[in-house]
Chains A and B, each alone.
Chain A
Amino acid sequence: MPTRRPLALLACLTAASLTAACGGGSGFSEEEGGAADQPQASGPASLQVMIGSSGPAETDAVTAAVEAWASETGNTAEVIAATDLNQQLSQGFAAGSPPDVFYVSSDLFAGYAENGSLLPYAGDLENAGDFYPNLVEAFTYEDEFTCAPKDFSTLGLVINNEAWESAGLTDDDVPTTWEELHQVAETLTTGEQTGLVTSSEFQRLGAFMAQAGGGLVTDGEATADSEANLEALRYVQSMLDDGSMQLTSQVGAGWGGEAFGTGAAAMTIEGNWIAGAMNADYPEVDYRVVPLPAGPEGEATLSFTNCWGIAAESASQEAAQDLVGFLTTPEQQMEFARAFGVMPSVETAQEDFTTEFPDFTAFVEQADVAETVPNAEGVSPVIADLNSQLESLPGGDPAAILSSTQTNLEAALGAE
């Protein structure tokens, strides 16, 4: 059968090209390297550092630091500012060639830790004991301190000085309790300006839950529908009802900083990143930052953080750990603080930081009462869903919001 031969030839050709595609690249190789058995390269390391940068200031500062480390240790390292960090990291992991060192945001941490992408190295760092405990907790997966917190941010109450004074308020009126916050918000509310404007997401309103002694997850159990959370949402709702507080979506602002900068809000609740935005977009606004008021169960705020992840598949893990150790020293973190306004994740840098950046005192002082946003596996989508429900908080039913979140949260935590 002469005609079969071309067919067979073709089949071979196609099959050969396909298998070549499957087996030839490093992408789909069968070798599955865990942290321990990943073959390590010898000699000077060549590291890839991938960051999700907030702008040129951050990229330049990180590049300078990494280059300083490289020339000191005789290794080479390249900093890549990702345009879409999640996507580029995922591609790297799927292809088996991830960058050696990279940023991991706390809400994505559990996903990467769970699928074995991250090297659990942070416990071995020299300064492992120096990180703030709540940050260590955020990056602990299955009782193992996995990656070193890069820096952190907390929420504070940001006050417009001009509005404050023209409403006849003095330094003694700075709110320290919920009642006082409600009062000054009412005083500050005029026709054009709302006393307090913040976005409705859990990443802001969750601070009130923490102040009421609540939270979404307590000791690994779902506690979204607790009395404390309900009390917090009812309190927020009471302010929304009488107009002394509005959500950013109600005043047409993208985030609290925008509402605050444009003068639609006399106060907002934001993190230390607001300083950069105010400098750049609203330099004429005179403001100050105070700690959030205490709720029924005392002072509390939320903190946000990223960590320096090291790939489990990195061929130069030792050098990567050395680099992270260098980047998280108090001195280096102060450099980053000067360059792009982040707060050092180590306690030994706190004093230097408050001396050098007195305006940020309120943010860093609250580090001890800060709670991180829950980030266990499967919890991030639940919080995303809670956020979408919180958008209907004005006029909505807080108990219904919390109970549906409780159901979702139980399912997410139980699925582990």
Chain B
Amino acid sequence: MSRLRLRSGRASSGHHEAAAGWLFITPVLVVLGLFLALPVGMAAWVSVSDWSGNGSPFAGDVSFVGAENYSELLAGGGLVTQDFGTAMRNNLWYVLLVVPTQTTLALFLAVLVGRRMLRGRGFFRTAFYFPSVTSSVAITVVFLFLFGASGAVNAALAALSIDGPNWFNDPRGVLHIALDAVGVDQAPAALTSSGALGISWWEWLAGPSVAMSTLVILAIFTTSGTFMLLFIAALQNIPGEVDEAAMVDGADARQRFFLVTLPQLRPTLFTVLTLGLIGTWQVFDQIYVGTQGGPGKTTVTPAYLSYTASFEGQRWGQGAAIAFILFAIIVTFAILQRAVLRERDTVPRRKRFKMPDQPLPVSGVSGDRTPGQVTSAGRVHNDDEDGRSR
């Protein structure tokens, strides 16, 4: 804005330019204000009001209740807090399982179909991307059939003499099942006596229920293709010379991937992880279509809870408050992840790759190389980074 002012002060034509500029962006501002800022503002107001869903939330009989909706969710101790805690537990496990798996799988698939040697690349790309362009509702319905008590998955398991679980109806947490298998069927008192958000630590540690695990598989299946596409694009942007240089330096395939290719994919990795986090914290359609929160509330997520609290319980303030807490969680995770993935000026010592039979550089600082000195594969990348930072 200050630049606009400066420029318009310099010449009279600048004034018209600025006016034209504002004129051109007005439609976007109006649309954003109407469909983004205004609804968000309304939701923020509803989350601190006692609006009950009848008439306008700005009507005279709706009053401000402060943080009451939030405190009831987070510290009320009643059923509302328990439900919210359960939803958080379910979704946290979901995120923990889905995000790393879908990112790894997407990267793996991208590297696989990105190979120039692979025959029928186009076919595989399409095949892997196909679940992403199919409606999530349709895929959920297909999964409901596949994972039915007598569905295809259990039929396949039965052929291997494995008695498959009743997938979508099994509320047991997978960690509890695993502990039960090794003989721990009673919770230690230390874990049941205390907890957070109305449910005990033992419940937090239940892991995703069998039903939720099915949804985890579903999410990985549907989203990996999309993220594979992002990774393919990023891989194609990496000049082949870098890889060749590393090859000349004697790095093997594993080293080239982890020390040369992967660091260059960092911006894409950040995008994929962020999109993954947002998508998984907001999971709704699969729950709405598939399980409606059951069995035993183990597939209730904050997004679904927000919906039921509002549309079925008529507790609109609580529903809006859940949405804002969810927003805060997503932002926090994104910031954390940005901090973790931030590009550092120097590479930690343990990540430096050195040729064992070469004389070591004089010091660890990368600016002091001399022409003709053999650089290691790891250094190729370091140079690139340091060049930017100095």
Contacts and interface: CB of A to CB of B under 8 A. Distances in A.
Q: Is the interface of A mostly helix, strand, loop or mixed?
A: helix
A32 B59 contact: yes
Interface centre among A6, A17, A93, A114 (most CB of B within 10 A): A6
Given A17-B34, A86-B312, A112-B314, A9 B22 contact: yes
A7 interface: yes
Nearest to A105: B312
A74 B295 CA distance: 50
Contacts of B38: 18, 21-22
Interface centre among B58, B61, B169 (most CB of A within 10 A): B169
B3 to A, nearest CB: 11
Contact of A7 (B9, B22, B54, B149): B22
8 contacts: A14-B26, A14-B33, A27-B56, A86-B312, A93-B54, A117-B53, A381-B79, A392-B296
B29 interface: yes
A245 B314 CA distance: 37
B295 A249 contact: yes
A277 interface: no
Interface string A257-297: 00000000000000000000000000000000000000000
B79 A408 contact: yes
Given A30-B60, A252-B148, A388 B295 contact: yes
Interface centre among B38, B53, B59 (most CB of A within 10 A): B53
Contact of B52 (A29, A33, A114): A114
Interface string A209-231: 00000000000000000000000
Given A391-B295, A411-B78, A17 B33 contact: yes
Contacts of A54: none
Contact of B83 (A96, A112, A117, A385): A385
Interface of B: 4-5, 8-9, 15, 18-19, 22-23, 26, 29-30, 33-34, 38, 52-61, 78-80, 82-83, 148-150, 166, 169-171, 294-297, 310-314
A115 B34 contact: no
Contacts of A32: 55, 59-61
Contact of A28 (B33, B53, B56): B56
Nearest to B12: A2
Interface string A23-46: 000011110110000000000000
Nearest to B25: A10
A90 interface: yes
Interface string A362-393: 00000000000000000011101100110110
A13 B26 CA distance: 8
A111 B295 contact: no
A380 B297 CA distance: 14
Interface of A: 2-3, 5-7, 9-10, 13-14, 17-18, 21-22, 27-30, 32-33, 86-87, 90, 93-94, 96, 108, 111-112, 114-117, 249-253, 312-313, 380-382, 384-385, 388-389, 391-392, 408, 411-412
A388 B171 contact: yes
A252 B30 contact: no
A391 B33 contact: no
A112 B55 CA distance: 12
A249 B166 contact: yes
Contacts of B294: 388
A356 B30 CA distance: 63
Contacts of A94: 53-57
A338 B54 CA distance: 36
Given A112-B314, A252-B149, A392 B171 contact: yes
Given A18-B38, A388-B294, A408-B78, A108 B312 contact: yes
Given A6-B22, A108-B314, A391-B171, 6 more contacts: A18-B34, A111-B313, A252-B149, A252-B169, A388-B171, A411-B79
A30 B296 contact: no
Contacts of A13: 26, 30
Contacts of B26: 10, 13-14
Contacts of B53: 90, 93-94, 111, 115, 117
B15 A381 contact: no
B18 A3 contact: yes
A118 B127 CA distance: 52
Contacts of B54: 93-94, 115-117, 312
A300 to B, nearest CB: 27
A15 to B, nearest CB: 9
7 closest A-B pairs by beta carbon, nearest first, are A252-B149, A115-B52, A111-B314, A28-B56, A249-B169, A388-B296, A115-B54
Nearest to A33: B55
A28 to B, nearest CB: 4
A98 to B, nearest CB: 9
Nearest to A408: B79
Contacts of A408: 78-79
Given A6-B18, A90-B311, A385 B79 contact: yes
Given A32-B59, A252-B150, A17 B30 contact: yes
A21 B41 CA distance: 13
Contact of A87 (B15, B22, B58, B311): B311
B56 A90 contact: no
Interface centre among B15, B22, B83, B314 (most CB of A within 10 A): B314
Contacts of A388: 171, 294-297
A13 B55 CA distance: 27
Nearest to A247: B169
Contacts of B312: 86, 108, 111, 380
Contacts of A412: 79
Nearest to A405: B79
Nearest to A30: B59
B255 to A, nearest CB: 50
B56 A30 contact: yes
Contacts of A3: 4-5, 8-9, 15, 18
B41 to A, nearest CB: 9
B314 A114 contact: yes
Contact of A381 (B22, B23, B58, B83): B83
A28 B58 contact: yes
Nearest to A21: B34
Contacts of B80: 381
A384 B295 CA distance: 11
Nearest to B31: A17
B314 A96 contact: no
Contacts of B59: 30, 32
Given A6-B18, A411-B79, A391 B296 contact: yes
Contacts of A96: 55-56
Contacts of A14: 26, 29-30, 33
Contacts of B313: 111, 380-381
Contacts of A108: 312, 314
A270 to B, nearest CB: 18
Contacts of A87: 311
A385 B297 contact: yes
